[in-house]
Amino acid sequence: MKLARLRVAALGLACVVGATTGPSAQPVAPIAIRNARLVPVSGPPIDAGTIVLANGLIRAVGARVDVPAEAVVIDGTGLTVYPGLFDAFTDLGLGAATTGAAGAATPRPAPRPIRGPQDRPATTPWVQAADEFRADDRRIETWRSGGITTVVTAPRGGVFPGQAAVINLSGERREDVIVRSAAAVPLVLTPPGAGNVFPGSLMGVYAYVRQVFLDTRHATDASRRYDANPRGKTRPEHDRSIQALQGALQAKTPFLVPASSSAQIDRVLTFGRELEIPVVVYGAHEGYAAAARLAKARVPVLVSAHWPEKARDGDPDADELLSVLELRDKAPRTPAALAEQKVPFAFYSDGLSGPSEYLANVRKAVKAGLAADTALRALTLDAAQLYGVQDRLGSLEAGKIANLVVVQGDLLGDKSTVRHVFVDGRRFEGTADATTGSGSGARPSGRGGPSTPPSSIGGAVSGGRR
Amino acid sequence: MTRRIPLLATLTVAVCTAWPAVAQNATAPVTAIRNATILTVTKGTIEKGTIVIRNGRIATVGANIDVPRGATEIDATGLYVMPGIIDAHSHIAVDGSVNELSLSVTAMVGIEDVLNPDDIDIYRGLAGGVTTANVLHGSGNAIGGKNAVIKLRWGKEARALLFEGALPGIKFALGENPKRASASPNAGAERRYPTTRMGVIDVIREAFVEARAYQGRWRGYDAAVKAGDRTAVAPARDLALEPLVEILEGKRLVHAHSYRADEILQLLRLAEEFKFKVATLQHVLEGYKVADEIAKHGAGGSTFSDWWGYKFEVVDAIPYNAALMTDRGVLVSINSDSAEEHRHLNQEAAKTMKYGGLSEEQALKLITLNPATQLGIDKRVGSIEVGKDADLVLYTAHPLSVYAIPQQVLIDGVVYFDRAKDLQARDTRAKAKQALKDKEKAGAAPARSTPTETTPKVETTPRVEGDR
Amino acid sequence: MNRSRLPLSCLTALTAVSLLAVCPPQAGAQGARTIAITGARINTVSGPVIENGTVVIADGRILSVGAGAPVPAGAEVIDGTGLEVTPGFFDAMSQVGLTEISAVNATNDITETGPYNPQIDAATAVHPATDHIPVARANGVTHAVAVPGLAAGGPGGANAPVIGGQASAFHLDGWTIEEMLINRSVGMVVNWPSLRTRVRDPQTFAFRSRPFREAKDEQAKQTRELARWITDARDYRAARSKGADRIDRNLKLEALAPYVAGERPWLLQATTERDIRDAVAFFVDTHKQKIVLVGADEAWKVAPLLAEKKVPVILGPTQALPGSDDDPYDATMAAPAVLHKAGVTFALSTYTSSDVRNLPYEIGTAVGFGLPREAAVRAITLTPAQLLGLDGSLGSIEPGKVANLVVTRGDPLEIRSTVTHVFVKGVPVSLESRHTQLYERYKNRPRPAAAGTK
């Protein structure tokens, strides 16, 4: 009987919480999660509190809050609410997984022979992730069901692949999910392709990029002069790449530059200083050896959570180098070392298969010395800060966007289950078991379907409970 | 390139396990090397001599000199001390390819941007007595990229390797390599210009014509500004042409890879046409045929001791090249162009005594003072003289003997290589490695499948980097 | 070392080389000569050093050697005061005569195509008039082995040789290979099928990592095939001996037969520690073959095993880079000393053609890193002869042996020493070469008239 009633209630809830298809995807009524442990990140945890979401935003959060009468109440007993997690650098919604087109890693083909830097090889900085993003990427569900609510997604391919966007994994319409477009400019300082096309070498890439920035600054100056008084002057060339970069420089958009070893990090820091551009280093597996220098340079880091690992089907007798062994051993210590030096950093998934692997790897960093709450910050508020959206995302604060992950257990503990995920106030189900990563690709509740066990709806629900 | 953990990492394991380096004399700025046979190179040999080093420089040298109290002493009884070897043609410590093969003129690229301080070949060269290296772009292009002169300060970061104040240089290349003689043409694809020696010289000439024009535009602008013209607009900067303008203005040294006598002459005449001097001809294996012309032009020759038989354009290579050119007044150095060869340049220098009868002092100069002069750093290094940098090698026997091996190598008065310490450290390293392997086995994290790397690597065209 | 390749047509290359070639110094005069070198320091190698000794050569052989050896009447006398006499150096793993200019493929006859070619021998292709012989000989190398089909380092392709052919020993003097030949077949080259986890796609030049299991399976397949060749060769010989007219002649199996029977050694190339272990286990333990380990860069890592199994080694140059960044910097220079201390019998060779003249300096380098000097001289004279069954007539200064000698002013291992005479088969050979001739010519180029050429 009780079960039947629960089922009825569940269906009722489903109707209320509602359809995810159709234009009005927001839940009709406010949602309140009561008596849950709240981890706001921006402040100390609250052991038994309530959070109210309405119209896609957090309306109230605290130990004692008023719950509107019309709110749908979720019993949060035994559950913990965190801000939704970030994957601070990915290609979700772009590339092969969605379009099935040529792999995300290959540079767009050059339509004409490259005679030098002036032909702007492997350079497409005008491409906006915000314009290309496709919400039907199957990977989105996988990541969201594990608690990742916001991603910074960037085009791939070439030296200047385009510009990244901060995106909430909340819906089908591109227009609805963009939090911030043109949020960062990847600057991939590695040879983009075969060695026989410029730039074919690492030093070629550096020389090319240097020239591009010179050209950008020169063009800014030249077009200003021309616009002020065009008479008698040769019209400046129209250069789409330069235009895009001018915009980025003016907006002080950070450039995301890969660097893994300590020497590479040094090189990138030197280059960034020379070019006078704001730089964010991504990768940074040997960051533990460069933390002080990063701090001095005031350069934030996106730490790849994809720690180096031994190849599975590799040669068991192969004598790996000491440096390789050491890196594998120490890389997970990098976040702790960065934290010690007060280097701002966030995590990104770097090709990991799904959220449980992502979190498991973050856990390794905690085991290696990173404080758990710093780890959580790096997954939430610090990530938001890196991209200038900390005023609207990244913590449980009234007025911020309602991105939450509701977990049974400790998110960074060994065993936890994601029960619900809220993105832009819309509710989605979590994975059955967050630790094994057997993501069932939870769908927003209301669709029903056999793949999601009914128990994932969480604690007993009934409309109107306060 | 393989990575190595730099010595400056503070973690204990790294300190124990990295190849020993930088036995800092931080607390004792005065060091004395005592009782050695000192081969000064410029001022003869001093038996049972002492060198006092202060703040990285040679303070005193002599047979009976006082050693300041508190000095760190290195007992060099039975050892020979000579100036650190200078390798005028090297490709060590480079991250990625040493060639930007895509274009025939790549003066905009530079080794300095991609120095890799973790390259084990730095350590290996150091252990062979090399203290300074002229790290060059490869020979794949008629006009290649800019060089970096470095000291082999193993353990320091990239910027700290640079030889402060060394004149900047650039690599040119003539002959088979820049004309891609060995590349098999893709059917139908247009081959990169040049494919003959005619085109190689043409590429260089055209580049200098462009450079002159560029220089002219900037001079016009500078003049206008000087004259008070506020509307003058600076020309757009072209990083490929600026190094060429520097060559025209005598501010950048040209190091030209070349083999055949005829192409050597072609380049010398071209340089004279544009009123600059070729600083060094590299390899220059037929230099002996046109030694007089080279001497008259004032170019130096940096050559191999005895390599031959590997390419058609070296068919007339002879080990007497260094001696013959020296005899005709060319300033000659012996180089390695190889991470293996630079480990025994002392032996290569000795070969010039055998092939052509150079004296002991002349032979030693080929790997010390002469390359220093060629690189414009002879005020700082290349001989053991008061005031020069304390870049020194302590050998177990006379360096021109096949039996001699370096015991210690100092740069700026700091011991960067110590064979005894190297031998001691081997056990520690092996243990540290085993400990990490055991730790990993115990942890036994699940590993993942090897991804198939489908991105073609640089080797789509046959490798010519560092090619001779 | 990187070598670039030049696709020059065969005809053009030969024409060009012959046009540029100065007359190569040819063989010394034939005919018996009696020569005595008196008052010299004699490194017999087989016995103690003889200070102030005399060596007498007659009919191409050493007639006598000793402190007071009598000088026959009518002998040509060379005053050996201040000179040293050493057995001529023997480069037992070289490419002399099989290549002229390595980048010009038309001049290369080193490696045939196809994985199993035991029937070919290097002597068939040795070019007696090669520039490389006078150059090597001028620095005291009097005889050498040309080795075919030794797989170069790096991932082999489908056609990389497994059995590369027979190595041939010859003197570095003679008008034809027939005059030079010592033994057409002194060793059978076999390249141990290495585990290849990284393979190169020949189309794209890209490297691809291969799963270990796949690489292991491929290796197992190749070693099974190798085992088949060994048993087939044995069976073939047995069958032919009983009924030759009823068994078709098979040149490959015929060539393998003496090696499989242990009459002569396999020249087994295995580079890494694991390869060496696996190769030794296969050839020695399983198939009871006689081997000499060659190209064994990591032999120093398994010295105790090699000593225990009595596997001799022909090391490559000491002047080579270590295989791994973690290897000690002096791994290759100290390798001879390591083997020596462990009791492994070893020789050292250059494995090249153009660098054969540096053989004494390659082994000399090892002395600085711990190899006793006597062992060094031995490694390039008597030991290689012993390993290839030629020590009955070569490798030391003893009566009856062939008179291959090098006479130097100074230590023969030292670069600064001068070679004064080289004897091959008892005849003093010309020390001229293409190099000395170009030297003489350009040394005599008239100097410019103007002063101040300095």
DSSP for A420-445, please give it: EEEETTEEEE--S-TTTT-------T
**Are C183 and C223 within 8 A, CB to CB?**
no
Domain ranges for chain B, please list them: 1-84+382-428, 85-381
Residue A17 banded pLDDT, cuts 50, 70, 90: very low
Which chains lie within 8 Å of chain C at 3 or more CB pairs, if any? A, B
The architecture CATH gives domain A85-386: Alpha-Beta Barrel (3.20)
CA distance B255 to A185: 38
* Cβ contact, residue pair B455, A105, below 8 Å: yes
Of the candidate CATH numbers 2.30.40.10, 3.40.50.1370, 3.40.50.720, 3.20.20.70, the domain formed by A2-84+396-457 belongs to 2.30.40.10
A199 cis-preceded (ω within 30 degrees of 0): yes
Q: Do B311 and C365 touch (CB under 8 A)?
A: no
Entry field: residues in chain C: 454
Q: Is residue C387 part of a domain?
A: yes
Contact A81, A51 (CB under 8 A): yes
Give yes or no for a contact between A149 and A85, defined as CB atoms under 8 angstroms apart: yes
Q: Tell me the HSE value of B267 on the side-chain side, using a 13 A CA sphere.
A: 33
Is residue C2, in this structure, part of any structural domain at all? no
Residues of chain C in contact with residue A323, where contact means CB-CB under 8 angstroms, are 325
3-state secondary structure A363-418: HHHHHCCCCHHHHHHHHCHHHHHHCCCCCCCCCCCCCCECCEEEEEECCCCCCEEE
DSSP type of residue C375:
H
User: What does the alpha-carbon distance between residue B460 and residue C376 come to, in Å, rounded to a whole number?
Assistant: 43
Say what the pLDDT of residue C30 is: 53
List per-residue pLDDT tens for chain B, 468 residues long.
444 444 444 444 444 444 554 444 444 589 999 999 999 999 999 999 999 999 999 999 999 898 999 999 999 999 999 999 999 999 999 999 999 999 999 999 999 999 999 999 999 999 999 999 999 999 999 999 999 999 999 999 999 999 999 999 999 999 999 998 776 666 556 788 999 999 999 999 999 999 999 999 999 999 999 999 988 889 999 999 999 999 999 999 999 999 999 999 999 999 999 999 999 999 999 999 999 999 999 999 999 999 999 999 999 999 999 999 999 999 999 999 999 999 999 999 999 999 999 999 999 999 999 999 999 999 999 999 999 999 999 999 999 999 999 999 999 999 999 999 999 999 999 999 999 999 998 986 554 444 443 333 333 333 333 444
The reply to whether A323 touches chain C by the CB within 8 Å rule is yes
CA–CA separation, B304 vs B284, rounded Å?
A: 9
According to the model, what pLDDT value does residue A435 have? 47
Is A322 in Cβ contact with C326 (below 8 Å)? yes
Q: Residue B147: list chain A partners with CB under 8 A.
A: none
Domain ranges of chain A: 2-84+396-457, 85-386
Where do the H-state alpha helices sit in A198-261?
202-228, 240-250
> Under an 8 A CB cutoff, do B296 and C101 touch?
no
Rounded Cα gap, residues C75 and C55, in angstroms: 11
* Residue B207 three-state SS: helix
DSSP structural state of residue B190: P
Q: Can you give the pLDDT at residue B191? A: 82
Residues in chain A, overall count: 466
Under an 8 A CB cutoff, do C319 and B341 touch? yes
Q: Would residue C256 count as lying in a domain? A: yes
Q: What is the pLDDT of residue A432?
A: 52
Selection from C51, C116, C36, C57 nearest residue C82 by Cα: C51
Tokens matching residue C183: 């033994």
Q: How many domains in chain C?
A: 1
Residue of B nearest to A287 (CA): B9
Both tokens assigned to B49: 């001599």
Check: CB of residue A282 under 8 Å from CB of residue A264: no
Pairing status of strand C313-315 against strand C346-348? parallel
**pLDDT tops 80 at residue A71:** yes
Smallest CA–CA distance from A311 into chain C, residue: C211
Euclidean distance between CA atoms C134 and C146, whole angstroms? 15
Q: Which of residues 362-421 of B touch C (CB under 8 A)?
A: 396-397, 400-405
Helix count and strand count (H, E) for chain A = 14, 16
Taking contacts as CB-CB distances below 8 angstroms, the residues of chain A near B159 are: 266, 270
Are the beta carbons of C132 and B123 separated by less than 8 Å? no
Quick check: C289 and C262 in contact, CB under 8 A?
A: yes
Distance (Å, whole) CA B58 – CA B72: 14
pLDDT, tens digit, for every residue of A262-302? 999 999 999 999 999 999 999 999 999 999 999 999 999 99
Closest among A300, A411, A306 to A353, alpha carbons compared: A306
Q: Which of B292, B341, B466 sits opposite C453 (nearest CB)?
A: B292
Q: Please determine, for residue A466, whether its predicted confidence score (pLDDT) is greater than 60.
A: no
R_g of chain C computed on alpha carbons: 23
Q: What are phi and psi of C22, to 5 degrees?
A: -85, 160
Mean pLDDT of chain C: 91
Distance from CA of B156 to the nearest CA of C (A): 18
- The secondary structure of residue B343, as a DSSP letter, is G
Can you say whether the dihedral through the CA atoms of A75, A79, A83, A85 is positive or negative? negative
C128 domain-assigned: yes
Mean pLDDT, chain A, integer: 87
What's the confidence (pLDDT) of residue C156?
A: 53
Report the pLDDT value the prediction gives residue B185, as an integer from 0 to 100.
Answer: 60
For residue A315, list chain C residues with Cβ-Cβ distance below 8 A.
Answer: 195, 197, 212, 215
Q: What is the pTM of this model?
A: 0.90
What fold characterizes domain B1-84+382-428?
Answer: Urease, subunit C; domain 1 (2.30.40)
Q: Cα angle vertex A449, ends A446, A452, to 5°?
A: 90
Contact B360, B44 (CB under 8 A): no
- Report pLDDT for A111: 61
Mutate to test the interface with B, among C6, C338, C442 (most CBs of B within 10 A): C442
Against chain B, the chains showing at least 3 CB pairs within 8 Å are A, C
What are the pLDDT digits (tens) for C116-172?
999 999 999 999 999 999 999 999 999 999 999 998 753 355 567 999 999 999 999
Asked if the C-beta of B453 comes within 8 angstroms of chain C's C-beta atoms, the answer is yes
Which CATH number covers residue C128?
A: 3.20.20.140
B462: nearest CB among C5, C20, C367:
C5
> What are the chain C neighbours of A310 within 8 Å (beta carbons)?
none
Nearest-angstrom CA–CA distance, B343 and B122: 10
Residue of B nearest to C14 (CA): B312
**Residues from chain B contacting residue A222 (CB–CB below 8 Å):** 233, 236
Count interface pairs B-C at CB distance under 8 A: 184
Pick the CATH number of B85-381 from 3.40.50.920, 3.20.20.30, 3.40.1190.10, 3.20.20.140: 3.20.20.140
Return the residue in C204, C209, C325 with the most chain B beta carbons within 10 A, the one to mutate for interface testing: C325
Range of the domain at C117: 90-392
* Most C-contacting residue of A196, A313, A321, A322 (CB-CB within 10 A), to test interface: A313
Structure tokens at B40: 């000064």
Res. C210 pLDDT band, cuts 50 70 90: confident
Contacts 24+ apart (CB under 8 A), B208-216: B208/B244, B208/B247, B208/B248, B208/B270, B208/B274, B210/B241, B210/B244, B211/B241, B211/B244, B211/B245, B211/B247, B211/B248, B212/B248, B212/B274, B214/B238, B214/B241, B214/B242, B214/B244, B214/B245, B215/B245, B215/B248
Interface A–C counts its CB contacts (< 8 A) at 21
A 10 A CB-CB count for B445 gives 12
Residue A173 per-residue DSSP state: -
Answer whether residue C76 is part of any domain: no
Average confidence (pLDDT) over C425-434: 97
Provide the pLDDT confidence category of residue A101 given band limits of 50, 70 and 90. Answer: very low
Query: How crowded is the C-beta side of A349, counted as CA atoms within 13 Å?
Result: 25
Q: CB contact, 8 Å: A317 with chain C?
A: yes
DSSP secondary structure string, B380-400? TSSS--TTSB--EEEESS-TT
ipTM summary value = 0.91
3 state DSSP class of B346: helix
| Among the ranges given (A105-114, B308-317, C182-191, C278-287), the one the predictor scored with the smallest mean pLDDT | A105-114
Nearest Cβ partner of A263 from B6, B103, B437?
B6
Min Cα–Cα distance to chain C from B57, Å: 28
